[in-house]
Amino acid sequence: MTKLSDVSLDSGFIQAQTLQNNTVWQVSFERIASKNALNLAMYQDLANVLAGFVAQPEARALVVTGSEGCFTSGNDLADFASAGADGALSSESPLWQFMLALRDCPKPVVMAVEGVAVGIGSTMLLHADAVFAAPSASFAMPFAKLGLCPEYASSFILPRLAGYLQAAQWLMLGETFSAEEALHGRLINAVVQEPLAAALEHASKLAAMPPQALINTKQLLKASDKQAIDTCMTQEAQVFAKALSGKEFAAAIAAFFTRK
């Protein structure tokens, strides 16, 4: 039986704990010096937590959150630059392993957003079962600005959630948008003063439900889009890998790391 203490957390930037008699697991991004940017070691830890959470029969709901008033600034841009076209989204990469583990998690996942949710910080919300955000939370999917393209099936899921025009605006311009706009675009359940408290309360309600019924419900909710999401992620990954070795990405990375 997998306990949280059996899960290896090696990055030093991911914290996890169990609550409510081990029924609720909570995992947080803890790398505030980089605005909780997610590097490969952190993705590996997150994939490990998800695997442990799924394997532990007592674990009923997972809460994902940031720290120090910040969700995450998304993928570590230095990692993207050094991983190169073959590395970042290859099927063996920790990033890909994390994306699959969250996407395919059979049990409910609840997210709490404070501060910035950039890049995969926004697109991972598309794979949660409930999301609560603070009034000051901000969201952005600046893939095109970076010379990249949408990932994590955002090019499939977002138009269906928010409508084509809203999705195109967010994914083409990559501008920051507010929690109210995220609510309007159906990315989040609610704007609340204390998103972590709301997420934990939601998770504890889920933990009190018959667990197999929730697993069945989630599977059925996801069934009709499953194949399309899988196909979309593969297509996105091909375009993304090419873009990572392109001039537009090189220029955007250079601009980011030399900004004043």
Q: Tokens standing for 174?
A: 């990559």
Give least dist CB 141 to ligand COA, A.
8
Per CB under 6 A, the list member of 14, 18, 26, 35 interacting with ligand COA is: 35
**149 scored as a contact of ligand COA (CB under 6 A):** no
**77 scored as a contact of ligand COA (CB under 6 A):** yes
What is the distance between the alpha carbons of residues 247 and 8, in angstroms, rounded to a whole number?
A: 37
Which are the contacts of 188, defined by CB distance < 8 A and separation ≥ 6? 113, 125, 131, 132, 133, 179, 182
Helix (H) / strand (E) containing 133 = strand 130-133
Per CB under 6 A, the list member of 101, 118, 130, 131 interacting with ligand COA is: 118
Q: Token pair 């601009």 is at which residue?
A: 255
**41 scored as a contact of ligand COA (CB under 6 A):** no
Query: What is the 3-state composition of the chain as percent helix, strand, coil, each rounded to the nearest 5?
Result: 50, 15, 35
**150 scored as a contact of ligand COA (CB under 6 A):** no
What is the distance between the alpha carbons of residues 95 and 75, in angstroms, rounded to a whole number?
A: 9
**37 scored as a contact of ligand COA (CB under 6 A):** yes
Distance of CA 36 to the CA centre of its chain: 12
Per CB under 6 A, the list member of 142, 185, 195, 211 interacting with ligand COA is: 142
**76 scored as a contact of ligand COA (CB under 6 A):** yes
Per CB under 6 A, the list member of 2, 15, 20, 34 interacting with ligand COA is: 34
Left if phi > 0, otherwise alpha if psi is -120 to 50, otherwise beta: which for 152? Answer: left
Per CB under 6 A, the list member of 26, 28, 48, 75 interacting with ligand COA is: 75
Per CB under 6 A, the list member of 119, 185, 195, 211 interacting with ligand COA is: 119
The count of residues interacting with ligand COA (CB under 6 A) is: 15
Residues that bind ligand COA (CB under 6 A): 34-35, 37, 73-78, 116, 118-119, 142-143, 146
